[in-house]
Amino acid sequence: MPQPVIRASNLVKKYKDFAAVGGIDFEIAPGESFGFLGPNGAGKSTTMRMIGAVSTRTGGELEILGLDPDKYGPEVRSQLGVVPQQDNLDVDLRVRDNLIVYGRYFGLPTRTIAPRADELLGFAQLSDRAKARVEDLSGGMKRRLTIARALINDPKILLLDEPTTGLDPQARHILWDRLFRLKEQGTTLVLTTHYMDEAEQLCDRLVVVDKGSIMAEGSPADLIRRFSSREVLEVRFGGGRNEEVASQLGGIGDRHEVLPDRILVYSQDGEAELSRIHQLGLKPITSLVRRSSLEDVFLRLTGRSLIE
Amino acid sequence: MSVAAQPAAASSKVLGDLYARNAKSVMWRGYTATKTNTYLVIVSGFFEPVFYLLSMGIGLGALVGTVATTTGQEVPYAAFIAPALLAVSAMNGAVYDSTWNVFFKMNYAKLYEGMLATSLGPLDVALGEISLALARGALYAAGFMAVMQALGLNLAWSAILALPAVVLIAFGFAAVGMAITSYLKTFQQMDWINFFMLPMFLFSATFYPITVYPEPIQWIVQALPLWHGVELVRGLTTGALSTALLGHALYYVVMIAVGLVVTTRRLRHVFLD
């Protein structure tokens, strides 16, 4: 791996006695797209705030572009683009002014920012909205403007905290496409998400985090291979019968998980397992065979679902 | 990574990561926001003290006649209250900008959160926001002083010094107002600010000399900031110059210093924990 742009070792953040981040290690290479996958409260946002040099660590080491963010906050922040979990666009300013004013916070002259702002509005597909008011934009547009704003200082690293949470499917796909382009241009992306499809789409490599600790690390395909089977059969028996039926499924699939509403059977061949279940005389109300996903990895590692 | 990558300039900065010498970008943001939105709020701030002056100074003044200032000088009632109204409008403008406006930006618009994710430091944000409030306050003050001049209520050459005095007063209230606001969490707590401001406005020797009160009450009034502002401006517009004016100005210098230190610390604590 080339020289990492971000390096954390035994990174800890405590609020009084509660350890939001309990000693994690990771390195992120330049141009890499790196994800933190975990449920709400896993410590993802806290980690992002420490990387973003707006939160000081309680223990361990952290280096961003070779600098300690606790000592060189402004220098580190000047090289980062930040897309926070909740949009904090300036609603008193028009769309294009949001970019210009934000660029000036970095001490950049208007003659540098103005052409860049127009270019970024094009990138965010908001050129025709330059003079619009922020409150008149849709959720997806606001998110794209927030990303454009985060790029105004030409950052080396872009931090995205839950970039598509709360967006409708179409808006999410447009956003993913934009982020994928940035990735292709070589921007280092660091993102948190609790959506496995987002992690699969965008991350070269990710860590699965839960309760402030890293449970596993690898590429999405690698994690699925290591912690899950090729396919998953989902069967529903309804009316609280899942638990009872599950006890009769011994020997079917590599293993199975019982969730409140369904049973997941892990296997190389989901269809074959389904016919075996039918042979036992069991009749699921619905059945579905799908590829394994990061959701299954998470379930395996923590015994819980990502979205609760 | 090599140690040589550490920027040498950063370690020698006196204020460290608190100040990036870029408060002007925060002011510029405020100017752009004002330009984008309505001018009406700006205009209303000018008329309020003018209406007070016309109704009480001219109307009530006809019944009252003349009043003695602290130095014993007899002045027309309108000339007595006009400088007080000037100080009050500086206070009101500064307090509104540094409390309600700041409260909303901190807690709802998340504006400061966005600013502090850039290379700005908390002192840039505090100074930028306060300077903007001062620019607005100075504009009102200049307008009001023009009205005073037209009505013949500036009794001495030193009246021109009331303009910087008003900016000083506004600076003091804005710095302390922003510091207090940074501790407040709910709108109910914000109401306490009004609860404190109204009596201060009415009882700080604004509409009559402080000598009407028994001595213990006078001490209380003299401990409060507005009385110092009223005395300072009144001294300058009526020409009653004395060393006491320096004392009043010093009161505001202390307010500014304490307010800025507390505000910067609080912004750092809240947004850069």
Q: Which of A174, A198, A219 is the last residue of a domain?
A: A219
Q: Are residues A247 and A167 both part of a single domain? A: no
pLDDT class for B39, splitting at 50, 70, 90? low
Q: Are residues A274 and A193 both part of a single domain? A: no
pLDDT reported for residue B1:
37
Mutate to test the interface with B, among A105, A108, A110, A151 (most CBs of B within 10 A): A105
Instruction: Dig out the tokens for B78 from the structure.
Output: 């309108």
A75 with B114: Cβ contact below 8 A: no
Q: Are residues A34 and A136 both part of a single domain? A: yes
- CB contacts, 8 Å: A4 with chain B: 1
* Location of structure tokens 């007595």: B80
Number of independent structural domains in chain B: 1
B118 with A3: Cβ contact below 8 A: no
Q: Are residues A138 and A186 both part of a single domain? A: yes
A77 with B272: Cβ contact below 8 A: no
Answer whether A212's CB lies under 8 Å from A19's CB: yes
**Could you tell me if residue A308 is inside a domain?**
no
Domain extent, residue B146, equals: 28-271
A84 with B114: Cβ contact below 8 A: yes
- CB contacts, 8 Å: A88 with chain B: 109-111, 113-114
Q: Are residues A174 and A273 both part of a single domain? A: no
Task: Tell me which residue of A26, A28, A34 sits closest to A2, measured CA to CA.
Answer: A28
pLDDT in tens, B191-205: 888 889 999 999 999
pLDDT reported for residue A304:
76
**Could you tell me if residue B16 is inside a domain?**
no
A54 with B32: Cβ contact below 8 A: no
pLDDT reported for residue A197:
85
Search chain A and give the residue with CA nearest B114: A88
Q: Which residues pair with A12 in a beta bridge?
A: A22, A59
**Could you tell me if residue B15 is inside a domain?**
no
DSSP secondary structure code for residue B57 in this structure:
I
Choose among B22, B110, B116: nearest Cβ to A86.
B110
pLDDT class for B11, splitting at 50, 70, 90? very low
- CB contacts, 8 Å: A106 with chain B: 118-119
Number of independent structural domains in chain A: 2
**Could you tell me if residue A213 is inside a domain?**
yes
Choose among B33, B113, B116: nearest Cβ to A92.
B33
Q: Which of A160, A187, A219 is the last residue of a domain?
A: A219
- CB contacts, 8 Å: B42 with chain A: none
Per-residue pLDDT of chain A (308 residues; tens, 9 = 90+): 578 999 999 999 999 889 999 999 999 999 999 999 988 889 999 999 999 999 999 999 999 999 999 989 889 999 999 999 999 999 999 999 999 999 999 999 999 999 999 999 999 999 999 999 999 999 999 999 999 999 999 999 999 999 998 888 998 999 999 999 999 998 999 999 888 889 888 999 999 999 999 999 999 999 999 999 999 999 999 877 888 888 888 888 899 988 888 999 999 999 999 999 999 989 999 999 999 988 899 889 988 776 65
Give the whole-angstrom CA distance, residue A277 versus residue B98.
Answer: 69
DSSP secondary structure code for residue B18 in this structure:
G
Q: Are residues A238 and A117 both part of a single domain? A: no
Q: Are residues A50 and A130 both part of a single domain? A: yes
**Could you tell me if residue A250 is inside a domain?**
yes
**Could you tell me if residue B75 is inside a domain?**
yes
Domain extent, residue A277, equals: 229-291
Q: Which of A188, A219, A250 is the last residue of a domain?
A: A219
For residue B132, pLDDT beyond 90: no
Sign of the Cα pseudo-torsion (A287, A292, A294, A298, in order):
positive
Whether residue A2 lies within 8 A of chain B, CB to CB, comes out as: no
Provide the CA A199 distance to its chain's centre, in angstroms.
Answer: 6
Give the whole-angstrom CA distance, residue B181 versus residue B67.
Answer: 38
Search chain B and give the residue with CA nearest A104: B25
**Could you tell me if residue A298 is inside a domain?**
no
